[in-house]
Amino acid sequence: MTTISRRRTAGPERPDRRGKDLDRGPWRGTVREYDLIKELVYALVVVGLLTVGLAAVVGSPDDAPVTLQQWATTAPSDFVATATAELGGTSDTAQYGPPYNSTQGASQTLGPIDLQSLSGVRLPIDTAQDFVVGPLETLPQPPAGLAVWNAASDTQRTDWTAAYSDALSKAPDGDPAKVAAGNYGPVPGLDSALLVMAQKGALEGALDGGTAAGLDRTKTVLFLGDGTYFPGLADSQHLTGDQWGMMNETGNYPGQSWLWLFSFWYQIPPFNSLANADLVIVGIMVLLTLALMFLPFIPGLRSIPRLIPIHRLIWRDYYRRR
């Protein structure tokens, strides 16, 4: 007895007459062997070579991190002016508000919403103590003016720093050596000692608290940002907000290319003139993120792939078989 068996050959699948979603049906088309490991190796080699090649040709500069020593050596006048502002509590950090201090009216609000103050002062910073007095106290021979400063009243300290700051602004090139005589108390001596400390490279260690590998650089970055030297470097490399700039590397840390969408809003009206632009733009980004997360559940938006079936062009071979 001869037995005849029939084998179904692979071929185009018949259209689903029940109208089921084609993407959910089992695949009955042509099947072939596929070496995933080989493709992975090829992809890594090709992408690696392209990455190295493009980085060498069109990559952004990998500049060395800016240090307080570099600042104090290159722009000593700006360093002294900033140190005076830290002592007097007039710097940007001193008047920033939460999370560094409780300066009244400093936080950005949107009606009754005050997100900046919501978490409170989590990183308390007294700019005079943390940026100037504290580091000077770590020296083997602290300047004699520290005792005078610590014994003075808050009003006296304010008068000293205000007078010296005004004198610095009137001196040629802001040079401390050319400041007119006046009642500045121990402020010039403290600034001079801090300048020398920074030029020797000892200030950053004192500000960072000797943390392992310098991972907590909050105070150093804040102090550096209060001056004009660091923003000047950003402007020269077209990295300020009104220049649409963005550095791809900061030392050995990864870049921040994802910030382009945040940066975009700061360039267009009315956001580029709002006093609370940070809070408004954060709110916009939260809404956009939520819209992306819940896209499959939003009527209208979830129908875009059906109304504009671009995916059918990409997978045209698959849909042609169907």
Q: Are residues 199 and 297 in the same domain?
A: no
- Same structural domain, 266 and 150: no
- On whether both 212 and 266 belong to a single domain, the answer is no
What are the distances in angstroms from CA 8 to CA 28, 158, 188, 320? Answer: 11, 93, 94, 21
Mean of the per-residue pLDDT values for the chain? Answer: 86
The residues, any chain, with a CB within 8 Å of residue 267's CB and separated by 6 or more, are 241, 242, 244
How many of the other CB atoms lie within 10 Å of CB of 185?
Answer: 20
**Structural domain contains residue 37:** no
Nearest to 83 by CA among 229, 186, 230, 226: 226
Q: Do both 79 and 218 map to the same domain? A: yes
Instruction: Tell me: do 92 and 203 sit in the same domain.
Output: yes
Nearest to 252 by CA among 50, 83, 62: 62
Q: How far apart are CA 184 and CA 230, in angstroms?
A: 27
pLDDT at 307 over 70: yes
* Residue given tokens 């709002």 in the structure block: 274
Are both 74 and 205 inside the same structural domain?
A: yes
Asked if pLDDT for residue 106 goes beyond 80, the answer is: yes
**Cis upstream peptide for 254 (omega within 30°):** no
Domain boundary among the residues 206, 222, 247 is at 247
Q: Do residues 212 and 295 both lie within one domain?
A: no
* pTM reported for the whole predicted model: 0.73
Report if residue 10 sits inside a domain: no
Residue 135 shares a structural domain with residue 192: yes
Most confident of 77-91, 106-120, 213-227: 77-91
Percentage of the chain exceeding pLDDT 70: 85
Q: What is the pLDDT of residues 243-262, one digit of tens each?
A: 665 555 544 444 566 677 88
Total Cβ atoms within 10 A of residue 93: 21
- On whether both 236 and 160 belong to a single domain, the answer is yes
- Please report how the helices 187-199 and 154-170 are oriented relative to each other, as an axis angle in degrees rounded to 10: 70
Structure tokens, 11: 């071929």
Burial label for 86, CB within 10 Å (0-12, 13-18, 19+), is buried
pLDDT tens across 145-197, in order?
Answer: 999 999 999 999 999 999 999 999 999 999 999 999 999 999 999 999 999 99
Number of folded domains that form the chain:
2
Q: How sure is the predictor about 208, in pLDDT bands with cuts at 50, 70 and 90?
A: confident
Q: Tell me the C-alpha distance between 260 and 190, whole Å.
A: 42
Name 184's Cβ contacts closer than 8 Å, sequence gap at least 6.
160, 163, 164, 167
Q: Is 42 a residue whose pLDDT tops 60? A: yes
Whole-angstrom CA distances from 252 to 64, 65, 230, 248, 312 are 9, 9, 19, 11, 43
Burial class (CB in 10 A: 0-12, 13-18, 19+), 196: middle
Half-sphere exposure of 166 (CA within 13 A, CB side): 10
* 212 and 121 co-located in one domain: yes
Q: Are residues 190 and 112 in the same domain?
A: yes
Determine the 3-state secondary structure of 113 from DSSP. strand
Asked whether residue 60 is assigned to any structural domain, the reply reads no
